[in-house]
């Protein structure tokens, strides 16, 4: 049977904003209420709900989520606009609050999980870009424009087959990503076990200031200086690394992102020839017996603090003055080296799993392009 071109409005029971309720997030009592943060990681996160002390459900009977409802962010930063998550659970458990759309499908026409995967496609992202209305700090789109987005819809049986294939690969991806997260947690636990609590230096280890630990410089290039298939790594303030044909550094170093729109900074380690963006800090240890991976872990533990003290409004940034205020524990060379050996094993496992993730992601992306391109 030939696919049908239908609008999102035609395949929905409704697409609507949530109910307005003044939330009190200090007291987590009553029925949980969805808010923008609830789907920030692409799932329905019950730890990121709001509350308003609502125990009587009658008043909000029509606003409870139902199994396989899809929540969609229609007011957010441009990057996260259109993000979605699907609810699997009982009715009369979670209230649909403001600032997320709820999409309830006509199940005789479309399988909710098929639509959920469509909402992860490049084609969908392009359609969201077309209807987005941008302002200084956020973007949005209207329900009317969203309802008019067209989707190429196969029959129900074909949808089931597509969902089965995509779901299998997607679950493998999520499992592998969880393995990487668990290895990161293991690194953190190992650090705590060997060196104690950094906040109070519970093991009374020697402490040194930034200037006693690092030689600090920055890159010189614009962030758009990268090229495709370049010879050397090019480090910017993004989490991913890029490539470039010229290098300015040939050393072992930590690369600390110096600016970020949300103040979510990142630390990388590299040894060899590379180049860097002008707001990326290149940090070299002043003692060649010290472990870069040990000090990388300490910096990572300070990233939340750096987010809090960073400057700027639209874009957050770190100054050298802020960084010079940081202090670091400095245990013996032997203990640093022991930590280094353990971490190298963990990082090797993470690298191997990440390679597998990349290959699985390519397969998932190719299928997404086949079904939704």
pLDDT per residue over 105-141, tens digit each?
Answer: 999 999 999 999 999 999 999 999 999 999 877 899 9
Select from 153, 188, 216 the last residue of a domain: 153
What is the pLDDT confidence band of residue 103, given thresholds at 50, 70 and 90?
A: very high
- Stretch 312-340: mean pLDDT: 94
What is the pLDDT confidence band of residue 226, given thresholds at 50, 70 and 90?
A: very high
Cα separations in angstroms, 298 against 262, 304, 327, 358 = 21, 12, 10, 28
Which has the higher per-residue pLDDT, 25 or 189?
Answer: 189
Q: How many CB atoms lie within 10 A of CB 200?
A: 8
Residue 127 shares a structural domain with residue 245: no
Residue 20 shares a structural domain with residue 133: yes
What is the pLDDT confidence band of residue 1, given thresholds at 50, 70 and 90?
A: low
Residue 35 shares a structural domain with residue 129: yes
Residue 227 shares a structural domain with residue 314: yes
pLDDT per residue over 266-301, tens digit each?
Answer: 999 999 999 999 999 999 999 999 999 999 999 999
Residue 243 shares a structural domain with residue 326: yes
CATH at 248 = 3.90.220.20
What is the pLDDT confidence band of residue 23, given thresholds at 50, 70 and 90?
A: confident
Residue 28 shares a structural domain with residue 107: yes
Contact 324, 210 (CB under 8 A): yes
Q: Are strands 267-276 and 232-235 parallel, antiparallel or unpaired?
A: parallel
Rounded to whole angstroms, the Cα distance separating 189 from 195 reads: 10
Residue 146 shares a structural domain with residue 252: no
What is the pLDDT confidence band of residue 168, given thresholds at 50, 70 and 90?
A: very high
Is the model's pLDDT at 62 over the cut of 80?
A: yes
| Predicted local confidence at residue 332, as pLDDT | 96
- What single DSSP character describes residue 105? E
For 82-91, 133-142, 145-154, 203-212, which range has the lowest pLDDT when averaged over its residues? Answer: 133-142
Tell whether 192 is covered by a domain. no
| Predicted local confidence at residue 22, as pLDDT | 87
- Residue 234 in 3-state DSSP? strand
Alpha helices in the chain (DSSP H): 112-118, 122-131, 143-147, 156-195, 210-213, 292-301, 303-309, 320-324, 333-372
- Stretch 80-100: mean pLDDT: 94
**What percentage of the chain has pLDDT greater than the value 70?**
99
CA atoms within 13 A on the CB side of 168: 7
| Predicted local confidence at residue 241, as pLDDT | 87
Predicted TM-score (pTM) of this structure: 0.78
Domain range holding 127?
4-153
Q: Domain tally for the chain?
A: 2
Q: How many CB atoms lie within 10 A of CB 148?
A: 14
Rounded to whole angstroms, the Cα distance separating 351 from 113 reads: 31
Tell whether 274 is covered by a domain. yes
Select from 132, 153, 174 the last residue of a domain: 153
Is the model's pLDDT at 69 over the cut of 90?
A: yes
| Predicted local confidence at residue 315, as pLDDT | 86
Tell whether 251 is covered by a domain. yes
Tell whether 65 is covered by a domain. yes
Select from 138, 153, 168 the last residue of a domain: 153
CA atoms within 13 A on the CB side of 337: 5
Q: Would you mind telling me the total number of residues written for the chain in this entry?
A: 373
- What single DSSP character describes residue 315? S
| Predicted local confidence at residue 82, as pLDDT | 96
Residue 80 shares a structural domain with residue 149: yes
Residue 16 shares a structural domain with residue 147: yes
Tell whether 342 is covered by a domain. no
Is the model's pLDDT at 25 over the cut of 70?
A: no
């Amino acid at each position: 049977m030939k696919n049908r071109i239908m609008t999102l409005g035609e395949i929905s029971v409704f697409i609507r904003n949530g109910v307005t309720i003044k939330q009190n997030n200090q007291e987590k009592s009553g029925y949980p209420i969805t808010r923008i943060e609830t789907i920030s990681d692409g799932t329905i996160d019950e730890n990121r709900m709001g509350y308003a002390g609502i125990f009587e459900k009658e008043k909000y009977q029509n606003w409870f989520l139902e199994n396989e409802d899809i929540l969609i962010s229609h007011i957010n930063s441009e990057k996260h606009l259109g993000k979605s998550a699907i609810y699997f659970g009982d009715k009369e458990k979670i209230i649909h609050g403001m600032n997320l759309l709820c999409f309830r499908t006509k199940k005789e026409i479309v399988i909710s999980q098929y639509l959920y995967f469509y909402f992860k496609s490049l084609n969908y992202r392009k359609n969201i870009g077309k209807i987005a209305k941008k302002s200084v700090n956020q973007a949005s789109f209207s329900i009317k424009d969203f309802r008019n987005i067209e989707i190429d819809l196969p029959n129900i049986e074909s949808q089931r087959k597509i969902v089965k294939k995509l779901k299998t690969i997607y679950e493998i991806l999520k499992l592998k990503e969880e393995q990487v997260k668990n290895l990161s947690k293991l690194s953190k636990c190992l650090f705590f076990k060997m060196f104690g609590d950094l906040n109070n230096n519970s093991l009374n280890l020697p402490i040194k200031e930034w200037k006693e630990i690092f030689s600090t410089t920055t890159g010189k290039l614009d962030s758009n200086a990268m090229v495709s298939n370049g010879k050397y790594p090019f480090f910017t303030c993004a989490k991913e690394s890029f490539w470039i044909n010229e290098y300015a550094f040939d050393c072992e170093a930590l690369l600390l992102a110096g600016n970020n729109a949300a103040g979510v900074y990142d630390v990388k380690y590299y040894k060899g020839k590379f180049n860097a963006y002008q707001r990326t800090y290149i940090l070299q240890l002043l003692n060649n017996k010290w472990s870069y991976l040990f000090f990388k872990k300490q910096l990572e533990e300070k990233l939340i603090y750096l987010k809090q003290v960073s400057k700027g409004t639209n874009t957050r940034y770190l100054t050298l003055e802020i960084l010079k205020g940081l202090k670091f524990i400095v245990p013996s060379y032997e203990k640093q080296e022991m930590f280094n050996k353990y971490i190298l094993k963990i990082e090797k496992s993470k690298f191997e799993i990440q390679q597998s993730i990349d290959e699985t992601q390519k397969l998932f992306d190719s299928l997404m392009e086949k079904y939704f391109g």
